[in-house]
Structure 1
Amino acid sequence: MKIDGNTIRPGNVIEHKGGLWRAVKIAHTQPGKGGAYLQVELRNLKDSSKLNERFRSSEKVEKVSLRQVDYQFLFSDGDMYTFMDGQTYEQISISAEDIGEDTVFLQDGMTVQIEFHEESPLGVRVPEKVTLEVSETEAVVKGQTASSSYKPATLENGVRIGVPPFVKAGDKVIVNTAEREYAGRGE
């Protein structure tokens, strides 16, 4: 579907320069001379490379529709991760390279969203927030009274984040997967 260049929004997938790109950030710009344009930061869906492009309202771009299906994570075998469609019980294997850095957040039985373009899987979206156990954290330094002081902690999956001083090893915490930061106490 063709859309005007100035109607691109973050999260949209477009066909550009022979590849599929996701709009990450946009900024409307009105220079002193010339017409307004949209500055768009794009990320390639295949190799994760980035590209900054300018689109004017007179330009047309091809917006791609992706089919999103909920799958359940089953297991990993080396660099391959296997998922199952809860409706059809069909299994699909996706390489760690295609999933990206979010492989560290995959947990047995977790429901993820897999995006398909035509019949090929493009990416896996993990839930926005996951609960993980803190495996190791540093002791609180006396005298640190600033309310925003966080201490480093290592989670059960090896990811390091900052946590509040009251969190100790063995506690469960909620982690924002997109920002990779502490989002609250877990249960």
Structure 2
Amino acid sequence: MISAGDFKNGLTIEIDGVVFQILEFQHVKPGKGAAFVRTKLKNVVDGGIVEKTFRPTDKYPQAHIDKKEMQYLYAEGDMYNFMDMETYDQIALTDEAIGDTMKFVKENDMVKMVSYKGNIFSVEPPMFVELEVTETEPGVKGDTATNVTKPATVETGATVNVPIFVNQGDVIQIDTRTGEYLKRV
């Protein structure tokens, strides 16, 4: 059990059977009245964000989140197939369970399966990926104003805004958390 006075960013707790991750917390000691802890919590299953206040003496069980690295094999219809590289067990997850987290992941890339009590609720792609640009318009000569971007389609089918000097066939690095272009490799 963790008391609200011991909350830290990134900690996962269980409140009424729902698992939350603490995004922000603040201990508030008003001039009058009792102290309290103001928090911003993220529901780890559905991604919803909630703001709650707690008394510093409130206690909640810590939720243990498991992360296991697996290899993405292939997509078949609306199912994504993954393999545990230690046991060679394969699992398939639906498109609904994964969301859009796989838009920058190629076949045979390693991803992290995030689960609570054996139920996988999220897939974390690598933070940075290198993908080849398969389609983009050529840059217009003379269009050199700062921060000019154009859309580019990468080999996984996702679209990313890239600087005008990036051409078809270039390999670029992308931050999967934000979907932003980082650099040409």
Per the TM superposition, whether the score is higher than 0.5 is: yes
Aligned to 2:42: 42
Query: Aligned to 2:96, what secondary structure does the other structure show?
Result: helix
What fraction of aligned residue pairs are identical, expressed as a percent? Answer: 30
Counterpart Cα distance in 2 of 1:42 and 1:63 = 14
- Residue 143 (structure 1) shift: 4.8
Answer yes or no: is 1:185 the counterpart of 2:184.
yes
Residues 161/32 of structure 1: CA separation in 2 closer, same or farther (3 Å cut): farther
Mapping of residues 45-64 of structure 1, within 5 Å: 45=45, 47-64=46-63
Counterpart Cα distance in 1 of 2:29 and 2:156 = 47
Residues 52/92 of structure 1: CA separation in 2 closer, same or farther (3 Å cut): same
- Residue 31 (structure 1) shift: 6.7
Mind listing any 5+ residue stretches in structure 2 that lack a counterpart?
Answer: none
Moved more, 104-113 or 53-62: 53-62
Query: Aligned to 1:63, what secondary structure does the other structure show?
Result: coil
CA contact (8 A) 1:5 1:38 kept: no
Mind listing any 5+ residue stretches in structure 1 that lack a counterpart?
Answer: none
- Residue 179 (structure 1) shift: 0.9
1:30 to 19, 28, 31: 28
- Residue 68 (structure 1) shift: 1.7
Q: With structure 2 as the length reference, what TM-score do the two structures score?
A: 0.83
Query: Aligned to 1:57, what secondary structure does the other structure show?
Result: coil
Show CA shifts across 1:64-117 (max 9, x none).
112221111111222221111111111111122222211212211111111232
Aligned to 1:98: 97
Q: With structure 1 as the length reference, what TM-score do the two structures score?
A: 0.83
Counterpart Cα distance in 1 of 2:143 and 2:83 = 51
- Residue 139 (structure 1) shift: 4.3
Query: Aligned to 1:179, what secondary structure does the other structure show?
Result: coil
